[in-house]
Amino acid sequence: MIFKTNTCALYGIEGHVIEVETDLSNGLPGFDIVGLPDAAVRESRERVRAAIKNSDFLFPQKRITVNLAPANIRKEGSIFDLAIAAGILGVSMYIINEALEGFAFLGELSLNGNVKGIKGVLPMCLSLKEKGFRKLILSKDNADEAALVGGMEIYPVESITEMVEFFKGNRDITPHEVNPEAILRSSNEEEYDFEDVRGQNTAKRALEIAAAGAHNVIMLGPPGAGKTMLARRLPSILPEMSFEESLEVTKIYSIAGLLKDKLYLITRRPFRSPHHTMSAGSLIGGGKVPHPGEVSLSHYGVLFLDEMPEFPKNVLEVLRQPLEDECVTISRVGGTITYPAKFMLISSVNPCPCGYYGDGTGRCSCSPSQIKSYLGRISGPLMDRIDLHIEVPAVNFSDLSCRTKEENSASIKKRISKARKLQLERYKNEGIYFNSQLKPKQVTTYCIIGKKERDLLKNAFERFNFSARAYNRILKVARTIADLEESENIKIEHIAEAIQYRSLDRKYTL
C-alpha cells in the first residue's frame, strides 16, 4: 500500500515540490528513507517515530520505505518531518487518502509530536502555489509568513494529533489570514533621514548621483566626519521597491530565518553593514545547508563596508563575483545554488591608518609606505567596480551649529526617481537598468561627448595622471549627472563634476 503526501525543498530562492511516497510492506520491521536524503533528513526517522508514538498513535510494526521524489535532487534539513509523519499516519489508516487532496505539508517535529516552525516558508509557499497547491498544513509559528502569499488556505496546527483530528473531521481549523494593515508595518518604522546631516553638501550631492545611477561608492575621510552617518541614509533616497522586489527580498530573509516578527513583507530597501571580522563565507553565503550571505541580504539595497581596508583581502576578493554578476553561486557537494545579490556597494576608508592624513593639522604620523599599503589592500579589480570617490572632510563648527533646515530625504528621492525613469526608458532594449551597468561598448553609444568636453577630459587625464579605468567611469557618472538635470546631452559641466569624483586616482596610485 502506498500513500502520497507533498512538501517542498528549496534550492536558492526557488522551491521544488517533493512528493513523499510511503510504502508499507510485510517483512522485518524497519524504516528507511530513500531519494538522496542528507544526514539531517535521515535523522527525521527518529523524530517521526518518537513523535508518532508519543502522540499515542500506533507505529506500524512492518517494513516502511519512504521515497522522496524526484530522487535526483538533494534533500536537506528537517523540513520533511511533517510530510513523512502524515504519510505514515496515512498508511496506518489514521488519515484517508482522499482527505489530502491538494494539501502540502511543511514542518519539523519535536519528539512529543509538536509541529515546529522552519525557515524559508515564504519562498516554499510561493512555489507550492505556483505548482497548483492551495492548502497548506504547517506550524503556528509559520502561519503569518505563509499567509503573506495570499490565495492559499493556511491551516496551522500545534501537533500531529491536531492534524489527524482535522483530517478526520473532528476538529475545525479556520484558515489563517493575515491582516493587511500589519503587513505594511515595516514601512512605518523610523528611518534615518538626510535632514539630520548638517553641511556636507558635496558628499550629499555625490550620494544623490550614486543613488540616481546605482553607482558604487567609496567615501574617504577622517574618523568622525560622518561617513557612517551618510551611508546609513542612502536607502532613504533610493526609489521605493516594487512589490516583486519586496517579495524577492522577503524570500531571502525568510530563508535566512531573519523575518523578525514573522509578519513582515520587507518594503524597505535593506541596509547591511557587516563587521570587518566577518568571514568570506558569511559575506557570500555558504555552510552545509547554504544560507544567504550579507551580499544577498543586501539584495536591492545597500551593502556598507565600513573601513574597507580593515577587511581581510580574501574577504574583499569574494565580492568581485556578485559585483559583476549580481548574484552569488555557492558550490558544494551535490551541486551549486545561486542566490540573488544585486546591491549598491558603499565603502568607507580613512585616508591613512591613523585617519588624519591630509587634514592640515599635521597630526598624522603615518609614513608614505604605510599609507600606500593601507589603501593598497583594496585591490585594483575591486576598485574598478567603484565609480565614485567621495571625500568627506571633518564637519566644521559653523555647519554643525547652523540652524537652517537641511533638505530631507523625500525631496532628494524625487529627483532620483526622475533620473532613474529616464535610464529605464533609454535602456529598455539593452537588458540593463542604470548607467552604472553600461558596458564599454554601450558607453560609446550612450555617453557621446562633443569636442569641448573631450578636450576637458584630455586635460584632466594629463594633469591628474588618471589610469585608463577612470575613463569610462567618468563618462558613466557624467551621464547620471546629466540625467539628474534631465539633459539629453552630456555637457562640459557634467564632465567637470564627474572628474571631481576620482580623488583616489588623483591622490594615490592604488
Ligand X SMILES: Nc1ncnc2c1ncn2[C@@H]1O[C@H](COP(=O)(O)OP(=O)(O)O)[C@@H](O)[C@H]1O
| CB nearer to ligand X: pick between 59 and 192 | 192
Smallest distance, ligand X to C-beta of residue 160, A: 52
| CB nearer to ligand X: pick between 395 and 498 | 395
What angle is formed at CA 377 by the lines to CA 374 and CA 383, rounded to 5 degrees? 115
Pairing state between β 63-69 and 14-25: antiparallel
Q: Are 87 and 81 in contact (CB under 8 A)?
A: no
How far is Cα of residue 123 from the mean position of the Cα atoms in its chain?
14
DSSP H or E segment with residue 469 = helix 468-484
**Residue 226 contact, options ligand X, Mg ion, none, Cβ 5-8 Å cut-off depending on partner type:** ligand X
| CB nearer to Mg ion: pick between 35 and 355 | 355
Binding flags for ligand X, 400-429, as an x/- string (CB under 6 A):
x-----------------------------
Residues at the contact surface with Mg ion, assessed by CB under 5 A: 228
Where does this chain touch ligand X (CB under 6 A) — which range of 129-137, 172-180, 206-214, 218-226? Answer: 218-226
Cα 388 from Cα 479, distance rounded (Å) = 13
Smallest distance, Mg ion to C-beta of residue 227, A: 5
Pick from 91, 178, 395, 498: which binds ligand X (CB under 6 A)? 395
Asked whether position 353 contacts ligand X by CB under 6 A, the answer is no
The single-letter code of the amino acid at 452 is K
**Residue 197 contact, options ligand X, Mg ion, none, Cβ 5-8 Å cut-off depending on partner type:** ligand X
**Burial level of 58, CB count in 10 A (0-12/13-18/19+)?**
exposed
Number of shown-chain residues binding ligand X (CB under 6 A) = 14
The closest of 466, 469, 462, 471 to 509, measured between CA atoms, is: 466
Q: Where are the beta strands (DSSP E) in 63-152?
A: 63-69, 103-106, 108-109, 115-116, 135-139
| CB nearer to ligand X: pick between 139 and 200 | 200
Instruction: Tell me the H-state helices in 134-263.
Output: 143-147, 160-168, 180-183, 201-213, 227-232, 243-255
* 227-246 binders of ligand X (CB under 6 A): 227-229
Asked whether position 199 contacts ligand X by CB under 6 A, the answer is yes
Asked whether position 224 contacts ligand X by CB under 6 A, the answer is yes
Pick from 90, 156, 213, 221: which binds ligand X (CB under 6 A)? 221
Smallest distance, ligand X to C-beta of residue 304, A: 10
Asked whether position 334 contacts ligand X by CB under 6 A, the answer is no
**Burial level of 440, CB count in 10 A (0-12/13-18/19+)?**
exposed
Pick from 226, 274, 293, 301: which binds ligand X (CB under 6 A)? 226
Cα 298 from Cα 415, distance rounded (Å) = 23
**Residue 198 contact, options Mg ion, ligand X, none, Cβ 5-8 Å cut-off depending on partner type:** ligand X
- Taking the CA atoms of residue 159, residue 163, residue 166 and residue 171 in that order, the dihedral angle to the nearest 10 degrees is -10
| CB nearer to Mg ion: pick between 148 and 308 | 308
* 168-197 binders of ligand X (CB under 6 A): 197
Asked whether position 328 contacts ligand X by CB under 6 A, the answer is no
Non-local CB neighbours of 401 within 8 Å, separated by 6+ positions: none
Smallest distance, Mg ion to C-beta of residue 57, A: 58
**Residue 254 contact, options Mg ion, ligand X, none, Cβ 5-8 Å cut-off depending on partner type:** none
Non-local CB neighbours of 376 within 8 Å, separated by 6+ positions: 510
Where does this chain touch ligand X (CB under 6 A) — which range of 210-218, 221-229, 244-252, 310-318? Answer: 221-229
Asked whether position 200 contacts ligand X by CB under 6 A, the answer is yes
Please give the residue ranges that form the binding site for ligand X (CB under 6 A).
197-200, 221, 223-229, 395, 400
